[in-house]
Amino acid sequence: MGRGGPSLLRLARLALPVLALACGGGGGGGGGSPTEPLPSPSPTVTPTPTPTPPPGGGITFTGASSGPGIVLGQGAATTSSSLTVEVRAAQVTGLYGLAFDLDYPAAAVRYQSAAAGPFLGASGQVSMQVVESTPGHLVVGVTRLGSLPGVDGSGVVMSLVFTPVANGNGAFTFSRNTAYRAEGTPMTLAWAGGTVTVAR
């Protein structure tokens, strides 16, 4: 393949084939002689408010590895109602593009959207495609464009946003994954997924 790098079609491969107390103890009648002291009133009980969970408290993602290679991690934009999973390059050399399938637990979360990260380049330098071929299965391609060289170092290649649908947990796993250099040759890298837990 020429200096222009692998086409997005090749990278994506089969992309077209995310207090109220119960008032139950209400006292009965007094009884007792007039000389007995009256019972003191019960103290007022104020219900404790339910604490507001911190951002991300209802949904968390734990990456299986921090690298080197291609790894998944929880993004800073994660909240109690939205999970951002970052596809990160960790200590790579000459990375031009990625193509992979990603399985996720559709019973717990659903895919919503994707955005390119800064690692492979600015807007106009990167092309990306994400297709959910079946529920819980994404086909992804992301690549630099034109005669740009590959990139060295670590950073966020892209972000995937999911919303929780039910309590539970499950794994995010890569398959059919390939990393490419600028000339289109594959790179040998380790790939590591992760696990999501939803507890709202």
Query: What distance in Å separates the CA atoms of residue 53 and residue 64, rounded to the nearest whole number?
Result: 25
- pLDDT digits 0-9 by tens, 128-163: 999 999 999 999 999 999 999 999 999 999 999 999
In this structure, what are the phi and psi dihedrals at residue 61, rounded to the nearest 5 degrees?
A: -130, 135
For residue 64, is pLDDT > 80?
A: yes
pLDDT in tens, 78-127: 999 999 999 999 999 999 999 999 999 999 999 999 999 999 999 899 99
Contact call for residues 74 and 56 (beta carbons, < 8 A) = yes
CA dihedral 92, 97, 101, 103 (to 10 degrees): 50
pLDDT value for 172? 98
Of residues 64 and 54, more confidently modeled: 64
pLDDT of residue 186: 97
What is the SS3 assignment for 184?
coil
Structural domain boundaries in the chain: 55-198
pLDDT tens string 20-48: 333 344 444 444 444 555 555 555 544 44
Q: Which two tokens stand for residue 183?
A: 């000339």
Share the mean pLDDT of the chain: 82
Fold of the 55-198 domain:
Immunoglobulin-like (2.60.40)
Question: What is the pLDDT at residue 41?
Answer: 52
Residue 200 confidence (pLDDT): 78
177 pLDDT above the threshold of 70: yes
**CA gyration radius for the chain?**
27
CB 144 within 8 A of CB 180: no
CA atoms within 13 A on the CB side of 28: 2
- Furthest-apart CA atoms within the chain: distance in Å: 105
- At residue 30, the pLDDT reads 45
> Which of 179, 199, 196 has its CA nearest to residue 72?
196
